[in-house]
Structure 1
Amino acid sequence: MTSQLNHLPSAKEVGTYDPQTLESNFSDLHPPLTQRQAMIESQRCLYCFDAPCVEACPSDIDIPSFIRQISENNINGAAQTILEANILGGSCARVCPTEILCERSCVRNHDAECQPVLIGLLQRHATDNMQFDSHPFKRAASTGRHIAVVGAGPAGLSCAHRLAMLGHQVTIFEAEQKPGGLNEYGIARYKMTDDFARKEVEFLLEIGGIDIQYAQRLGDNLTLDTLRHRYDSVFLGLGLGASRALGLTGEDAPGLMPAVDYIKTLRQADDLGSLAVAKRCIVIGAGNTAIDMATQMARLGASEVTLVYRRGVEAMSATDHEQEIAKANGVRMVTWAQPDDILLDAQGRVAGMRFAKTADQAGRLTTTGETFEITADAIFTAIGQGFENASLSDATAAELARDGERIHVDEMFQTSLPNVYAGGDCVKPGQDLTVQAVQHGKLAAHAIHQALAAKQEAA
């Protein structure tokens, strides 16, 4: 556990939770469908022509087709339909906000039931129960080309798998000790259980032709200039590695840390009871990371968890579904308040926070002049991730054109440098979703393949 929380008690020392309760609190948020439930649910689908659910899917999965295949008890066929469009379809079935994408668009919302087909759970059913004798996708004949992929997150993995399918050799350079990116390190533990992220990567690598090198960080022991000279093309799937700071005095005090750092530790913990827990904690933010942090701290045994956001509930980026999860776990939500001062005890540790009340005046956020305080043993910030500028610190990388802090790409995901592509959260903001990153990687792979093929023809 990070030293920022060393002064706090462990989960074993807080509340009345026993190991079984802790384990239960971090079991599957949405248990999988049984075979009978999946069959019944699949038969609710109308198998629409020009289905609106497909239009709403960032990775273009043929949803009516795979659901029909489930209804015909063709699980391998359903899984193949999903994975052809989204090789990380298993994790996306768990973490994708289907309630605001495909399921919101389902025509079943407009009939007497007012209940969409449970597309996410059906997708999980297919990918969890597939039983292929070998990897369902085969490599094309070798092209003799070797591509470098930076980052083994959803964008990089998707790009690497598609490039391997197309006959290229791929080397992935990953900064961490495990692949998976946010699927491995950043998703709430109850959303991705049973070491699923690792198993999914192992399945993806079965196609062959993909090598992963760990502890390789762009801007540290790896440079874009070197990659461009050694490989035929480069794909950057860097993600967003820097947590935004509050900009307040005392931000380095024991008891204050980015939520993503704690979630990363929680995701890798073998013993949940050993995790440091704040009896009273504050989470600053309004996105799914803030919700994940608040809910998990409550499930670890915190007695008071308060999520604070500077605007109103309607402006929160976390979906209504995610907000309800937090409320169901006893998380208190305070809106129209922004951090004003970090309160410290005599030892210089976090003791709480003073907030300034805010208001919307003609579309502009202002403070009202009123303040209030919340007592806390720890504060977790979830106010967004920024681009890690150090990753583009070498002379070649510094030449990359930017859209704000993100890397600029064209419609083919090519950057301003020849033979260098990028996708996922590190490019111009979109929905910053796992499923979107997978789509970026897939499309970039096809663009790389086409560019290399055109170059070969020209030669």
Structure 2
Amino acid sequence: MATEAKRDVTGGRLEQSEYAENFTDYHPPLNGHEAAVEADRCYFCYDAPCMTACPTSIDVPLFIRQIAANNPKGAARTIFEQNILGGMCARVCPTETLCEEACVREAAEGKPVKIGQLQRFATDTLMNSGGDHPFERAEPTGRKIAVVGAGPAGLSCAHRLALHGHDVTVFEAREKGGGLSEYGIAAYKSVNDFAQKELQFILDIGGIKIETGKKLGTDISVEALAEQYDAVFLGIGLANVNALGIDGEDADGCEDAVDYIAQLRQASDLSKLQVGRSVVVIGGGMTAIDVATQTKLLGAEEVTIAYRRGQDAMNASEYEQELAQTNGVTIRHWLQPKSLVLHDDGSVAGIELEYTSQSNGTLSGTGKTVTLAADQVFKAIGQRFDDDPLAGSGLELDRGRIRTDDNRKTNLNNVWAGGDCVRSGEDLTVVSVEDGKIAAESIHATLSA
């Protein structure tokens, strides 16, 4: 079906002041008094469940006790010892489903200690202090390690290796390091160029250099790196976006949510970013929430998330879903894409969705449909691994991602991998950080043997 009207996609839907207000820090940091009051709520539990729930095993009771004792820099060091990206994780981690969900105050009162905000208070205090770096690099070992990917996994691995005295070269395909921290999260979660400030903080330990514009499979290869370096770590993430599987999804106006978020993150003037009057997002994870919320904040009048299952099955937490709805996003469940509606010029005019039902865990279409008008349709149904850059390397895959052991070691003698590109990847920044740390310790142990 085609329509004669034109898509309504433009920039400048808001006053300049509205952009600044909409994309300000969504969670203003705690001040010293607020942090002290919140820290006093902690029971400092023995065998604390919040610590167990943290993928990087941060000693949560200890760092909160240090804040309570007016030692936020000491608290930051406690955090950074386990998670060198603790500042970003404090901003983007789904603490409501990790440490805070495990908090005993959550179980008893439904109001957990604000662990994420306390973590941010501590890490920001240290990073803004301008003092000495909290870690001192060991004596150089003369060993050289290549890290592919300057995202959370790669940077975590690089920092831990540099801490042990190894020389690390990080190869990054994009113009900037940071990975998803720089390109992939909602702009209101990380403001004031924090991703680059955190990157510099990591590099300040010394022994790490980053070479940007170096893409695996084009400019570098696993085989060459394995020959030139004592060890290689792959933190290459997920490069491809899953397709909707419907005809015409290459039409003008049917866009990858990941790419759009990256454009938004790098935009120097948000008023120049093109956004539709009516937007439909397909998906139920954090990317769907982030692109939907941000298009609404850019001035879209109607934004709808369509998800094929019920609310409980959405990967985005209830908190994030509520955040989107608070900003005017409509979330509709039990709908899957069937076909795109196009204008006469072949651009997107809307999307036809089919109602779904589930029986014994099996999802199926009901045959009943609804059509939503849309100037933009965003694909946010997950990403998948691109194994083309690994062709000829001999690396073994497991169900479409790199196979590793518990130490993030691949089947190749001197190659490790971690983050979203490995089979156990969980699409969380904090999990990627832990992967990089585990791999670094395994590499160090291997090179020290």
The TM-score bracket by the shorter chain reads over 0.9
Distance 2:417 2:446 in 1: 15
Q: Matched residues in 2 for 1:429 and 1:284: separation?
A: 25
Which of residues 97, 114, 123 in structure 2 aligns to 1:100?
A: 97
Residue 316 of structure 2 corresponds to residue 318 of structure 1: yes
Please, which runs of 5 or more residues in structure 2 have no aligned partner? 1-5
Give per-residue Cα distances to partners, 1:66-100, cap 9 Å, x unaligned: 00000111011001000000000000000000000
Aligned equivalent of 1:110, options 107, 116, 127 = 107
User: What per-residue deviation string (whole Å, max 9, x for no partner) do you get for residues 365-416 of structure 1?
Assistant: 11111111111111000000100122212x12xx111111110000111001
Alpha-carbon distance in structure 2 between the residues aligned to 1:7 and 1:360: 35
Deviation at 1:114, TM superposition (A): 2.8
CA distance in 2, matches of 1:109, 1:206: 38
Residues 247-262 of structure 1: matches in 2 within 5 Å?
A: 247-262=245-260
AA at the equivalent of 1:420: V
Distance 2:254 2:172 in 1: 28
Aligned partner of 1:293 among 284, 291, 294: 291
Aligned positions, number: 442
Alpha-carbon offset, residue 7 of structure 1: 6.7
1:106 maps to amino acid: C
Provide TM-score, normalisation by structure 1: 0.95
Aligned pairs (5 A) from 1:173-192: 173-192=171-190
Corresponding letter in the other structure for 1:90: G
Q: CA deviation at 1:10?
A: 3.1
Cα deviations by residue, 1:400-438 (Å, 9 ceiling, x for unpaired)? 111111100001110011110000000013431000000
AA aligned opposite 2:361: G
Is 1:172–1:210's contact at 8 Å kept on the other side of the alignment? yes
User: Do the aligned partners of 2:7 and 2:349 also contact (CA within 8 Å) in 1?
Assistant: no
How do 1:74-153 and structure 2 match up within 5 A? 74-111=71-108, 113-130=109-126, 131=129, 133-153=131-151
Deviation at 1:246, TM superposition (A): 1.1
Once residues 249 and 94 of structure 2 are traced to their aligned partners in structure 1, the CA distance between those partners, rounded to angstroms, is 32
Please say if residues 63 and 75 of structure 2, whose CA atoms lie closer than 8 Å, have aligned partners that are also in contact.
yes
* C-alpha distance after superposition, 1:165-222 (max 9, x if no partner): 0010000000000000000000000011110000000011000000100111111111
Write the distance in 1 (CA, Å) between the matches of 2:267 and 2:381: 24
Once residues 279 and 247 of structure 1 are traced to their aligned partners in structure 2, the CA distance between those partners, rounded to angstroms, is 25
Q: Equivalents in 2 of 1:221, 1:343: separation in Å?
A: 40
Name the structure 1 match of 2:415.
Answer: 420
**1:423-458 C-alpha deviation (Å, 9 max, x unpaired):** 00000134310000000001100000001111xxxx
% identical aligned pairs: 53
Q: Aligned runs of 1:35-74 on 2, under 5 Å? A: 35-74=32-71
CA RMSD after TM alignment: 1.1
Determine if the alignment matches structure 1 residue 341 to structure 2 residue 306: no
One of 165, 168, 178 as aligned partner of 1:167: 165
8 A Cα contact 1:76 1:132, kept in partner: no
Amino acid aligned to 1:85: Q
The aligned amino acid for 2:395 is L
Aligned to 2:448: 453
Equivalence map 1:232-311=2 (5 Å) = 232-311=230-309
Question: For residues 34 and 221 of structure 1, what CA distance do their matches in structure 2 show?
Answer: 46
> Which sections of structure 1, spanning at least 5 residues, go unmatched?
1-5, 455-459
Match of 1:10 in 2: 10
State the alpha-carbon separation in 1 of the partners of residues 435 and 266 from structure 2: 27
CA distance in 1, matches of 2:363, 2:93: 31
SS in 2 for 1:20: helix
